[in-house]
Chain A
Amino acid sequence: MSKKIASLITIVLSLTLVGILVFIVYGLFKTDFNGFGLEHKGKEILTNTANVVLTEGDVITLKYYYGDMGDIKVYMKPVEVAEDFEFTIDGEVKSWNTDIVKSNTVDHSKLLEFYIDNVANTVTVKGSVKQGLKAVFEAEKVSWAGFLPVEDMFYIMIESGDTTITLSSRIYAQTEKISIGNEDITF
């Protein structure tokens, strides 16, 4: 009799353990795996990801692993940078954090409009930061000294059904040329 009870207890405990594991696994899928993923330059992106380096012309493809595709929506917003980035719009000095991220007057949807082309399960990066600023401020000339901050400047949120993958990313212009400043070296 006691053996039967022991066996029963073992079975109950085992089933409880299985239940816990199923809950954990389901939880993983529920929170991190949305049933769809992204592909960028041959790399799969299944969860929210930072430091995504995008170049104008890059295509992000949506891939579905199960379920319906649902409506695809793309959102974008600029992100504050650690060391503010100053640039000149038609001669007027502005900064990324103040005049873009925290601004109430700049229409952030223009960024999305400018940068993202969402067609047939693909999201295409349409332009560089300089081009985007031109579009947002409707400016003729945008310039700055030095280079862009080496950190993420945008959130790109891709939503399908009730799940979203957020890419914390930086967007670059296409590289045109590299030149080594030094002359040939003799040792």
Chain B
Amino acid sequence: MKKSIKKVGVGILTGIMALSAFAFGGCDTTSVSDGYEKVKDTVTDFFAGEESGAMEYDGTVLTAGETYDFGASPKMAFMSTATLLSDEVSETEEDSFFASSVKVKATVTPSDANQHVIWSVAFVNPSSAWATGKTVTDYVTVTTETEGSTTATVKCIKPFGEQIKLICTSEENANISDYITLDFIQSVKSVSLSFGDLPINLGGQTDVTWEVNPNGVGIGGAANLTYETYKDYTIPSSYTSAIDLISPSYHNGGYADPWSVLEWTDTTSVISGLKISSTYVANDATLGDTDYFYKVFYDIKSLVFDSSFLTTTQLYTESWTNAKVYLYTFEPSEIIEYFSNITDGALYSVRVQLTSGVAGKAGGDAVRRSSLINVTGFTNNPLVKSVTLGDGSGVLF
């Protein structure tokens, strides 16, 4: 009897399970009612361009060629009278061309057609020696903010050696599409710069001391610039280079106050309210009046931090009466006073610019790297040019 009941029970339970399976598993109402497959997109940030604007200080629009009084603020300010262009895109290794992306837009006609599209990328010649075995999305990605959007962002994430097609296909009709080609210009991978035995820390800060003795040998020397390019590209390119000294405030990413640079502890009344300004003006005919960052020296070939550079930069102090006294006219002991208590030694930014011979590169035709020159103090090492033994001198052993 027990067995019979068990059998009945098992049979009933089996029946219940079967019915349950049919009821809840047989009808996949979600997949049926959904009707259409979803395409997943990854949303990424668009490349943000740099801002530009007129130079102002304390509400006053600054004019090139003029010298301004910024009050009795205990700051050293290096002032340039040249204004030059910046459509700057990147200054450091980290912000290289890989950060750049391009926004593309497709138009679907007629206007009452389904505006949903599918973006994709593919090698133009997938069987080429370079492309064989490679996955195109390892090199270029295309993303949209919303599913099916006609606006997409194309981003290069790695150099590529085979042309890539960016394809836009109608979601409604896979036979209707358009494409453009993507190329990779032979690009700069790394840049190295030194002045004599002074290596420049591109992408960071370079600390220097200033030789204040007229007979001393300052740190620095002739410029030695080298760069390496990526081995993969679809368009070869050569580069021309320029090394500039620019406003340090630009280095820090701002435009509003190019002057507030170098500060030191206000220890005596002698230096209270002093300013230091560079009156040297670089002549760069290739750049126009609408340029908004300050380039102090254009395409320098060498850089030595000694008394001659003090002269070249025409650094001067300004007293309460606005009288200017140039630092190169001072005795070393006086100069030392100014370089003894520096708390913020930002001087200029050394900027390397490598300009491609091929125009039209996304994110700009130039690669720029810069380093903030930071004056940490001074040296006072008069060079001993000769030693003369006078008459009657002798050497005892």
Give A residues with C-beta under 8 Å from B.
3, 7, 10-11, 14-15, 17-18, 21-22, 24-25, 28, 32-33, 40, 43-49, 51-53, 55, 128-130, 144, 146-148, 150, 172-187
Contact = CB atoms under 8 A, between A and B. Distances in A.
A49 B30 CA distance: 10
B384 interface: no
Contact of A183 (B19, B35, B179, B180): B180
B113 interface: yes
B255 interface: no
- The dominant DSSP class at the B interface is mixed
Contacts of A181: 104-107
A14 B32 contact: no
Contact of B35 (A14, A25, A40, A148): A40
A184 B183 contact: yes
B26 to A, nearest CB: 9
Contact of A185 (B105, B166, B187): B166
B362 A43 contact: no
A3 B1 contact: yes
A47 B32 contact: yes
Contact of A178 (B27, B100, B170): B170
Interface stretch (B4-12, B67-75, B263-271, B294-302): B4-12
A99 B35 CA distance: 31
A21 B23 CA distance: 8
A187 B272 CA distance: 51
A186 B23 contact: no
B154 A185 contact: yes
Contacts of A43: 32, 35-36
Interface of B: 1-2, 5, 8-9, 12-13, 15-16, 19-20, 22-23, 27, 29, 32-33, 35-36, 97, 100, 102, 104-117, 140, 154, 156, 166, 168-170, 172-173, 176-185, 187, 235, 358, 360-363
A175 B114 contact: yes
A55 B112 CA distance: 10
A14 B97 CA distance: 71
A164 B97 CA distance: 58
B178 A185 contact: no
Contacts of B179: 180
Most chain B CB within 10 A, of A175, A181, A184, is at A175
B111 to A, nearest CB: 6
A178 B115 CA distance: 10
A28 B113 contact: no
Contact of A130 (B107, B112, B185): B112
Given A146-B111, A150-B115, A184 B182 contact: yes
Nearest to B156: A187
Given A15-B12, A181-B105, 15 more contacts: A7-B5, A11-B8, A43-B36, A44-B32, A46-B27, A175-B108, A176-B176, A177-B176, A178-B108, A182-B104, A184-B182, A185-B180, A186-B358, A186-B362, A187-B156
Contacts of B180: 180, 182-185
A15 B12 CA distance: 8
B158 to A, nearest CB: 10
A57 to B, nearest CB: 10
Given A17-B16, A21-B20, A180-B168, A49 B35 contact: yes
A87 B20 CA distance: 52
Contact of A175 (B36, B102, B172, B184): B172
Given A178-B168, A186-B235, A24 B33 contact: no
A100 B361 CA distance: 50
Given A22-B19, A25-B23, A43-B36, A32 B29 contact: yes
Contacts of A21: 16, 19-20, 23
